[in-house]
Structure 1
Amino acid sequence: MLTVQLCRVRGNEDLALPAKMSTGASGFDLCAAVTEELVLQPGEWKLVPTGISIAMPEHLEAQVRPRSGLAFKHGITMLNSPGTIDADYRGEIKVIMVNFGDHPFRVNRGDRIAQLVFQEVAKVQLEQVDELVSSARGAGGFGHTGV
């Protein structure tokens, strides 16, 4: 088990801490730390605070992902999905919510708006070369298999 430190941003002691909603869940639900109701009109996006910051080991990243229920039922998702929280970032986690639905969507303090999933990050060193080794696929992409 890995340990990630979590700190509440002052003034958010009333909010629930991120939590997994089932024993098999991979993500911790994040709550909206808005001070008053926020309304997302269709096609509109806003930066929504969560009231928490984290510190994690260097070999981890945290990914902020949309909640499937909000996406399916209301057309609510995130513009930069998944949002990446780097191991050395110590600021408040915020979510860029967007309304792709047909109706205004209301976000209230404490609403579950996104989920936080932790992933290991591979240590990679980039090496510049003049030519890449070939592969069976080659440069084919964006539907090259017919779909």
Structure 2
Amino acid sequence: MKNRGFEIVSVYEGNNIILPERKTDKSAGYDIACAEDAILKAGKVTLIPTGLKAYMNDDEYLGIHIRSSIALKNSLSFINGQGIIDADYYNNANNEGHIMLAVFNHASTDFSVKKGTRLAQGIFYKYLMTDGDSNDKGLVRHGGMGSTGV
């Protein structure tokens, strides 16, 4: 039985995608690399593919955070602060659960990232629900990124 982890989305199989890993024994985050070269335009948001999807338990989510070293040195951030990957995003019909990084370049010059650049880190979290809430809403995700509640 699988609990949580990363897989390569089908359109990126055979493209030497790097599966995320923790770099030290006490690292909380799994480093996530870019699946393609990208140019981050100054003052703009760029969606960068990772070639990855994540599976987890129903009461968990994957938090996606920009790596602090690349953010500080290059004036980058995620446009939404932290990406949240819900458990039902995995293998959704729209995009197979492909994790994309929405990066904002605060600098006045463009910035290039190469395939394999460790741009983000993913941390698996448990979440809690309020009294009276349950997981039996009867609703199923039909879309991909940003589709909850649409």
Tell me the secondary structure at the aligned position of residue 88 of structure 1. helix
Q: Does 1:20 align with 2:22?
A: yes
What TM-score does the superposition give when structure 1 sets the normalisation length?
0.77
Q: 1:122 to 1:109 in 2, by over 3 A?
A: same
The gaps in structure 1 that reach 5 residues or longer are 128-147
- Determine the structure 2 residue equivalent to 1:107: 113
State the secondary structure of the residue aligned to 2:88.
coil
Contact 1:12/1:33 (8 A) holds in 2: no
Contact 1:32/1:111, CA 8 A, preserved across alignment: yes
Structure 1 runs (4+) greater than 3 angstroms displaced: none
Choose which of 33, 39, 46 in structure 2 pairs with 1:31.
33
CA distance in 2: counterparts of 1:97 and 1:125, whole angstroms: 36
1:67-113 alpha-carbon deviations (Å, 9 max, x no partner) = 10111100011001211101111110111011112321101111111
Code of the residue aligned with 1:25 in structure 2: it is S
Match of 1:93 in 2: 99
| Residue 79 in structure 1 maps to residue 79 in structure 2 | yes
AA of the residue aligned to 1:70:
I
Question: Is this contact kept in 1: 2:7–2:19, CA < 8 A?
Answer: no
Structure-2 residue corresponding to 1:117? 123
Aligned-pair RMSD on alpha carbons? Answer: 1.8
Number of residue equivalences: 124
Relative to structure 1, is the Cα distance of residues 106 and 99 closer, same or farther in structure 2, using a 3 angstrom cutoff? Answer: same
Deviation at 1:5?
3.7
Displacement of 1:49: 0.9
Task: Decide which structure has the larger Cα Rg and report it.
Answer: 1
Counterpart CA distance in 2 for 1:75 and 1:12 is 32
SS in 1 for 2:71: helix
**Identical-pair percentage:** 27
Report the CA distance shift for 1:71/1:5 in structure 2 as closer, same or farther (over 3 A).
closer
Spell out the pairing of 1:46-65 with structure 2 (5 A cutoff): 46-65=46-65
Give me the whole-angstrom Cα distance separating, in 2, the residues matched to 1:12 and 1:46: 23
1:33, distance to aligned residue in structure 2 (A)? 1.1
